[in-house]
Structure 1
């Protein structure tokens, strides 16, 4: 990592001993929010982007037992058994960890996103809070690692996993005495996408052990999903007979585009039915069934301007991260930070594009361009952002400032001497270059895209060095 540039160190030293700017006329560098500004001109530090995803949600799998009589015509093939029971249950941690194929939970960084360069490539600055940077990397695909056996685990963008669950099949004779058992390890990984309403799920079943009269088992599955979703591929595989240590794997597919009339989003759960029988006997309908957890409802929507997609909302909010040292937009971050401190919260809420346009006009109209003859030299940057519920405040009530660096010293004086700030404003309209404006907006645009922020969604904002 490169050391801070000499100008950056100079700024840090000056801020440590000097308070510049006019108190009451702008935002003073003497405030705690500004004391950490050290590298407005340093281009060596990484670009800010979407913060790493918070820890996954999880809940234990609920055990369930189903029993049914074996049809009389099949009892000969079942060695005289008269009843079969299946119990769906979590496997013990020790048992689940005996095989690398047997356990998984989403990786803590499966959907972490870092913006490589927050910038609006076209430079037009149009709707950047809804248009992510073209050079931002795609988020990684959902993945699972060996942990949390016997639990559902999921995250907003990393899909949902189930590992360490066993379907135990037991045969009983006429005296209700067990005469044979078989255990099937079931694993599933469901992937959501920020840019597609299609959801794909991989499911596997492995016969881990048998005893008594059970030598092999025939296994088939069906899946389904709730209102707002339609099942495209119901069966991951056709009926397959497994012997011990044999595994069958297949894929299913759902579509989250079954929106009710006059709606633009839907939330639903997925359900599973496993049919387990002795080879050659009639399937019991169903032999084992379960559903995804109520706390992990999948939400699909068509509310973003261009992309439709799905996430699994959780209480761990998406995080918008701004760097004070970013070469393009860093000059505005100290002011953003102070305004959020005045507001007493780090949470904002997304709104749709129509409301964002209304909010932007409320804060930035009318706006006097300081350099009307120079393209891109001045633009109105409103904060809180127009694309949030907290934006759209009357521009006459906001501090109107022009952040600048003069002789390596940062300041944000009031734009108009006749309109000094009071130091209590909770909104801003800033005079900054279109480049800085577009860059700051593009960071939010990336968060909105990859985390599928839609109308009403909360997110956190943080500020880094």
Structure 2
């Protein structure tokens, strides 16, 4: 079974390498060819909202009559989702390393299969069918998935590896990935897919002049409010609220229109009104007058809104809020 370490985020370098917010490739990216996987050593596995990789060293016991053998090989996966589309791929590699035993495996092959569920369909490239189990052979191919959902579909992704040779007893084995959710619920963006079990992070920087005052407010609020809402490590994640009426009500409670705004300032609330920890829900909150332009910028497509859309954070989805230097 493909067991990803849930919550183990990729490093910044790995994110850059794997193009994790995977939209359509540019012509230059396509010409450059595939990028290296961040999962290099057997036993490594990582994932985030739109990418997962895994590399496993396997031993396949083989029986032919009274003879026995043991085949060692590596299977690897690089699953690349698309937050702007519902077709996604898994780059699969099968590499045979060694064989020990007196059972003949001259005709042994392994076929890779892939399945998904709900409105998802899948197919496997021919290069992964009937792979000769010859030491030194390395087969590379893709499993390709397409989800036709018009609303939302969470799909189990399963892989099968089936050995075939007349007279040979070698049990098939299976692997799976974290479930994939495809949806068409974000207006004006179209459908796309993510790993919903990965909790993404919205990041603000104290040294970013475009949002510095908002970042300081969030840092202070996370420190002072009971439970440290949204802060990874000692707090709990925030949850998205997509109902605009509720958002307006939270905003009005935290930042009443009657509260005077100094020139050039606007009222910033935390937790954000677009969360289920917003002021309407009755939990602790903080409000502060901050630079109006910075406040507006922090909520736009380059910051909070962009985090929501690129990670396809739907209603009730969790996310963290991080303030860095």
Task: State the TM-score, normalized to the length of structure 2.
Answer: 0.71
Which one of 182, 185, 192 corresponds to residue 81 of structure 2?
192
Match of 1:309?
192
CA distance in 1 between partners of 2:71 and 2:4 (Å): 31
2:15 match: secondary structure: coil
Post-superposition offset of 1:370: 5.8
Q: How far apart, CA to CA, are the structure 2 residues paired with 1:168 and 1:302? A: 42
Aligned to 1:58: 5
- 1:146 matched residue in structure 2: 40
Q: How does 1:246-257 map to 2 (within 5 A)?
A: 246-257=137-148
- Within the candidate set 218, 222, 225, 1:343 is matched to 225
Q: Aligned residue for 1:352?
A: 242
Matched with 1:170 is 62
Shift of 1:332: 3.5
Q: In the TM superposition, what is the alpha-carbon distance from 1:270 to its structure 2 partner? A: 1.5
CA contact (8 A) 2:180 2:193 kept: yes
- Is 1:440 the counterpart of 2:308? The answer is no
Q: CA deviation at 1:170?
A: 1.5
Residues 155, 314 of structure 1: 8 Å contact kept: no
Choose from 178, 190, 206 the match for 1:324.
206
Alignment of 1:184-223 (within 5 A): 184-210=73-99, 211-212=101-102, 213-223=104-114
What is the Cα deviation at residue 238 of structure 1?
3.5
Q: Is 1:427 equivalent to 2:286 in the alignment?
A: yes
| DSSP-derived class of the 2:321 partner | strand
Which residue of the partner structure matches residue 288 of structure 1?
A: 172
Structure 2: runs of 5+ lacking an equivalent: 18-34, 231-237
Query: Structure 1 length normalisation: TM-score?
Result: 0.52
User: Given the superposition, is the C-alpha separation of residues 287 and 329 from structure 1 closer, same or farther in structure 2, using an over 3 Å criterion?
Assistant: same
Q: 1:34-183, aligned counterparts within 5 Å?
A: 57-58=4-5, 107-109=10-12, 110-111=14-15, 143-147=37-41, 149-150=42-43, 153-157=45-49, 159-166=51-58, 168=60, 170-173=62-65, 177-178=66-67, 182-183=71-72
> Are the structure 2 counterparts of residues 276 and 464 from structure 1 closer, same or farther at C-alpha, using a change threshold of 3 Å?
closer
Query: Distance in 1 between the 2:285 and 2:259 partners?
Result: 21
Q: Counterparts of 1:301 and 1:458 in 2: how far apart (Å)?
A: 16
Q: Alignment RMSD, CA only? A: 3.8
Alpha-carbon distance, 1:199 to partner: 2.1
Q: Do the aligned partners of residues 302 and 230 (structure 1) sit closer, same or farther apart at CA in structure 2, a change above 3 Å counting?
A: same
Which of 449, 455, 458 aligns to 2:309? It is 449
Q: Decide which structure has the larger Cα Rg and report it.
A: 1
Tell whether the 8 Å contact from 2:269 to 2:286 is kept in structure 1 after alignment.
Answer: yes
Task: Return 5+ residue gaps in structure 1 as ranges.
Answer: 1-55, 60-104, 114-140, 398-424
Structure 1 residue 154, shift from structure 2 partner? 3.6
Note the C-alpha offset of 1:288.
1.0
C-alpha distance in 1 between matches for 2:314 and 2:153:
12
State the 1:251 CA deviation: 0.5
CA contact 1:207–1:246 (8 Å) conserved in 2: yes
Cα distance in 2 for partners of 1:165, 1:272 equals: 16
Aligned to 1:272: 159
Q: Secondary structure at 2:277's aligned position in 1?
A: coil
Count residues with an aligned counterpart.
289
The change in CA–CA distance for 1:216 and 1:428 in structure 2 (over 3 A counts) is same
Distance 1:188 1:235, change over 3 A: farther
Deviation track 1:356-415 (CA, whole Å, cap 9, x = no partner) reads 35544555564678699xxxx555544332211122449xx9xxxxxxxxxxxxxxxxxx
The residue number in structure 2 matching 1:10 is none
1:72-101 Cα offsets, whole Å, 9 max, x none, are xxxxxxxxxxxxxxxxxxxxxxxxxxxxxx
Distance 1:426 1:166 in 2: 51
Secondary structure of the residue aligned to 2:223 is: helix
State the secondary structure of the residue aligned to 1:223: strand
Instruction: Write the distance in 2 (CA, Å) between the matches of 1:273 and 1:457.
Output: 31
SS at 2:294 equivalent: helix
1:220–1:282 CA distance, 2 compared to 1 (3 A): farther
